[in-house]
A = this chain, B = another copy of it.
């Protein structure tokens, strides 16, 4: 990768002693490959050899809700950013205009992770060493467009250039994984693996639940009519996902409540769901029960189980109605783990066949609950700082609040968790630099020595993720 004008010591402590140590530690993993065990990149990018990222606005702005929500918060309509309206309303279709708007407002990203990632991508991926602004917007648009049209800039080429070893996507339980199949069929060597995310069929109070379950019946060839057939269909899907290379399942819940109900109760809920008479309490108890079931299945089939709780989705109804989900209006909630995870951890947490990775958007639970739980239960690992906390300060807070109690070996290394493929190297680079800087601080304060730090750095860059995700 061509090195740009980025400072080689960026993000390290200003203290010269720590900085030198951090640089030494970072250099030891700087060129290591990338493991991407959880994220949201579209697998279709890789299904053909000559895949394309589209225009600079397609690549950097329109699909990236980190970018569009910041511009929106400052009063720029999403329509002007070219974000597609699901209601067919008019939007800006001239991507050059969208790009200009973005460049004009680039100062909004000062001091933010998006600012860091975008700068990294421009420098390291596109060799652009100047900051976007009003005056150079057109020139940058042309430069990037030209590169994107050149043969070295297909998704597959960048996958290799980024040294990605494995990239896990996130896929509905009802997905037949045609893109993953196409990749396999193509003979290309990149490892793009699906992840089993059955939320849509588990949340029995969702408006489209019946439709989703019909899909589930169709793809599993098991007619789902009661709880028993529902479970069988899910087991069939897990088996299918594993046959396609999946190593993990993933579960998004508002609250990580876990707890079993009887088969009779579960059956009653499924039946009420079919009739459309399911209650909110039914839905909560069913989700709590299904987390138990998913853990049970993981013990049996070995899929790593991920829980991503605490995001209230689509908080902004106007934005949701116009633009659909994932448009920046997902807002975190306070999240309780000690009581909520107790049933699951009591039943499966002592079993080392289970690898359970829990994430949080509520940092107040790091030191109070999660580090303590992860520092006790053999099955539990704590996922890396997630979403809004996937940032330099978010990582520093995580190291500060988690590591003393959990130890690094009860964490799951790093996930980039992105839809923006080109930001992957930037995100891993931030993690590696933040980790190196944290370790350098431990060395400088005589808590560990440099040999320990290098071992720990290696684990944090690669080893912990490999182990937690059984890659």
With a CB–CB cut-off of 8 A, which chain B residues contact A328?
Answer: 376
With a CB–CB cut-off of 8 A, which chain B residues contact A94?
Answer: none
Q: How far is the CA of A377 from the CA of B374 in the complex (A)?
A: 35
With a CB–CB cut-off of 8 A, which chain B residues contact A448?
Answer: 110-111
Q: Are B111 and A442 interface neighbours, CB within 8 A?
A: yes
Q: Name the contact of A367 in the complex, choosing from B363, B410, B456 (C-beta under 8 A).
A: B363
Size of the chain A interface, CB-CB below 8 angstroms: 91
Interface set, chain A 396-446, CB cutoff 8 A to B? 397, 400-401, 403-410, 441-442, 444-446
Check: A101 CB closer than 8 A to any chain B CB.
no
Q: How far is the CA of A62 from the CA of B316 in the complex (A)?
A: 47
With a CB–CB cut-off of 8 A, which chain B residues contact A88?
Answer: none
Assuming A14-B444, A361-B368, is B338 touching A318 (CB within 8 A)? Answer: no
Q: How far is the CA of A368 from the CA of B75 in the complex (A)?
A: 22
Q: Within the complex, what minimum Cβ distance (angstroms) separates A447 from chain B?
A: 6
Check: A352 CB closer than 8 A to any chain B CB.
yes
Q: Are B376 and A388 interface neighbours, CB within 8 A?
A: no
Interface 1/0 per residue, A73-93 and B, CB below 8 Å = 111000000000000000000
Check: A193 CB closer than 8 A to any chain B CB.
no
Q: Are B73 and A376 interface neighbours, CB within 8 A?
A: yes
Q: Name the contact of A364 in the complex, choosing from B317, B364, B389 (C-beta under 8 A).
A: B364
Interface set, chain A 313-364, CB cutoff 8 A to B? 315-319, 328-329, 331-334, 336, 338-339, 342, 345-346, 349-350, 352, 361-364
Q: Are B403 and A111 interface neighbours, CB within 8 A?
A: yes
With a CB–CB cut-off of 8 A, which chain B residues contact A361?
Answer: 368
Which of the segments A4-12, A47-55, A161-169, A212-220 contacts the partner chain? Answer: A4-12
Interface 1/0 per residue, A300-323 and B, CB below 8 Å = 000000000000100111110000
Q: Are B13 and A331 interface neighbours, CB within 8 A?
A: no
Check: A393 CB closer than 8 A to any chain B CB.
yes
Q: Name the contact of A404 in the complex, choosing from B350, B393, B409, B445 (C-beta under 8 A).
A: B393
Check: A372 CB closer than 8 A to any chain B CB.
yes
With a CB–CB cut-off of 8 A, which chain B residues contact A72?
Answer: 376, 378
Q: Are B346 and A405 interface neighbours, CB within 8 A?
A: no
Ranked nearest first, the 3 interchain pairs of A and B with the lowest CB-CB distance are: A10-B446, A14-B444, A7-B446
Known: A73-B374, A111-B407, A331-B376. 8 other contacts (CB 8 A): A72-B376, A75-B352, A107-B452, A116-B447, A316-B350, A318-B350, A392-B445, A394-B404
